[in-house]
């Protein structure tokens, strides 16, 4: 199934079929689903230009019950959206179970090309926004490795 997120009637029908009689802890309608798309776009805007968003996917579901009085998992809705050229498409919608105090999910997955492009785009934006100091060419290989180790530690990726 590939439904344009702007087609409210079709999306509402799919969500109603999946949700059944459930009224809490679900994605109730297309407007609520669109809020996940907006959240994903905010995440994408920080790492890629808008022209590079096509193919990104977001898997989303609401938070579980906040009260500990719930002892078991409750019915919820999980949807997968995929970014097209200009808009989002609903590609999957299913019933899931969420546990008490579980967080809301809006997990964006990048395709391979987007994953490779993100650091390049970040470097481009960094160079435009800041004056960067590059290591001079006279440094030895050992000194360069030490600088890379310090940079990795500073970035929290060591």
pTM of the predicted structure, to 2 decimals: 0.84
Q: How far apart are CA 18 and CA 63, in angstroms?
A: 17
Structural domains counted in the chain: 1
Asked if the structure places residue 70 within a domain, the reply is: yes
Residue 45, domain member (yes or no): yes
Query: Is position 37 within any domain?
Result: yes
In a domain, 121, yes or no: no
Q: Do the domain assignments include residue 127?
A: no
Q: How far apart are the first and last CA of the chain?
A: 42
Within a domain: 134: no
Helix %, strand %, coil % for the chain, to 5? 40, 20, 40
**Per-residue pLDDT tens for 92-125?**
999 999 999 899 999 999 999 999 999 999 999 9
Residue 70's domain comprises 3-110
Dig out the tokens for 65 from the structure. Answer: 């019950």
> Is 141 inside any structural domain?
no
């Amino acid at each position: 199934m590939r439904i344009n997120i702007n087609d409210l009637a079709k999306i509402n029908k799919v969500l109603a079929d999946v949700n059944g009689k459930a009224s809490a802890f679900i994605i109730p309608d297309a407007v609520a689903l669109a809020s996940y798309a907006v959240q994903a776009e905010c995440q994408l805007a920080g790492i890629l230009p808008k022209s590079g968003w096509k193919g990104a996917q977001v898997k989303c579901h609401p938070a579980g019950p906040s009260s500990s009085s719930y002892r078991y998992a409750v019915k919820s809705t999980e949807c997968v959206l995929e970014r097209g050229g200009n808009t989002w498409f609903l590609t999957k919608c299913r019933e899931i179970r969420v546990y008490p105090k579980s967080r809301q999910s809006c997990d964006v997955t990048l395709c391979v090309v987007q994953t490779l492009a993100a650091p390049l785009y970040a470097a481009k934006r960094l160079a435009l926004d800041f004056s960067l100091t590059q290591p001079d060419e006279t440094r030895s290989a050992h000194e360069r490795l030490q600088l890379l180790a310090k940079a990795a530690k500073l970035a929290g990726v060591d």
